Structure 1
């Protein structure tokens, strides 16, 4: 089974973000930029969507909105993102967001926090193609501990909705990537396991081999 590796980038500024995306050019199809507002996620990261226009188009951009009330910023990010990840827990208007943006713009991926039961996506499964399962407890930071309870959540999604793509995000590394693949994950979002290494592309290639 082939599984996609998506490097995630948690950057305080555009300079750091741009440097990492340039390094990944030609190595992966997608990268994921974590956007944390200091409210929904306690960290604060890069939040200037217009600057993404300065990037080349070699790599597709997924923007992970870890923000409270994402509907207030979605339209700022849509022009510069190839897809958006929105947390079910961050809004009371998820159905409206999906109805407004999913069919006419980029894909909207629904993310679930670790403690949120997968059954919560049931009302939305006809409107989405992908669910992103968080496998860490604290959002907006890299280097957090992997929580193995996500393995059962992957299996539950695949049992109930076998056609739904499952992305796992948080604490993924060379040690647990294979287990996540075997549980049914279709893609792995990986941050610190890549970036803490002095040779991030070497680790990336090792992860791609495991997958």
Structure 2
């Protein structure tokens, strides 16, 4: 079974609130993608009582934003390999406060996470080349990457983020993905509830 996680790339607080309202009651866990290190929400995260928030920090030096999102109530914080200056410090700060995830771009080898495998809760495999853009084409090589990860670390939660759709989702689940992070395939579908139901049937 794989968990379906809607992904929101918010332009501002109003945009975030609008998109969250579309999936309210349909999901508990939602991922918020942060590509602007100056983006903050003055009144905290909306609908905090209705969702568990997973924050995907796609920014340089994500350690500078940890306190803000910890205080905002993030359940899980994901940072991208190569963007944090001190990986150990980030993991240590999040320990016992929020789940920790490392995101691997297409060119990042799997074995890079070996020293941290006992310190993280999830690894997020990026399914697209251009990070931070929804609607990008899915890279088929990611399916093999997921399968290798799952075989090597069978107890590790594996998320796939980027380019996930109804066509490749079954193959990703079969390969060992435990979470499918989905943005445009849900929010730009034209029939949000029907598409969500189809994804949930696959999982």
Contact 2:3–2:180 at 8 Å: present in 1 too?
Answer: yes
The alpha-carbon distance between structure 1 residues 51 and 139, as it changes in their structure 2 partners (threshold 3 A), is: farther
Structure 2 stretches lacking a partner, 5+ long: none
1:88 matches 2:77: no
Structure 1 stretches lacking a partner, 5+ long: 39-45
Q: Return the match for 1:100 from 90, 93, 105.
A: 93
1:174 matches 2:166: yes
Write the distance in 2 (CA, Å) between the matches of 1:69 and 1:145.
27
Write the distance in 2 (CA, Å) between the matches of 1:113 and 1:138.
9
State the 1:55 CA deviation.
Answer: 2.6
Residue equivalent to 1:137: 129
1:12 matches 2:11: yes
Q: 1:45-95, CA deviations, whole angstroms, 9 ceiling, x for partnerless residues?
A: x82144334434111111100000111111111112121111122113111
Contact 2:126–2:162 at 8 Å: present in 1 too?
Answer: yes
Write the distance in 2 (CA, Å) between the matches of 1:163 and 1:18.
34
Residue equivalent to 2:67: 75
Q: Return the match for 2:113 from 121, 141, 145.
A: 121
Contact 1:131–1:165 at 8 Å: present in 2 too?
Answer: yes
Contact 1:49–1:77 at 8 Å: present in 2 too?
Answer: no
Write the distance in 1 (CA, Å) between the matches of 2:193 and 2:41.
26
Write the distance in 1 (CA, Å) between the matches of 2:154 and 2:12.
38
State the 1:24 CA deviation.
Answer: 0.9
Residue equivalent to 2:57: 65
- Segment of structure 1 superposing worse, 198-207 or 136-145: 198-207
State the 1:9 CA deviation.
Answer: 0.5
Q: How does 1:144-163 map to 2 (within 5 A)?
A: 144-163=136-155
Q: Return the match for 2:188 from 170, 182, 196.
A: 196
Contact 2:76–2:100 at 8 Å: present in 1 too?
Answer: yes
Contact 1:173–1:190 at 8 Å: present in 2 too?
Answer: yes
Q: TM-score, normalised by structure 1?
A: 0.91
Cα RMSD between the aligned structures? Answer: 1.4
Q: TM-score, normalised by structure 2?
A: 0.95
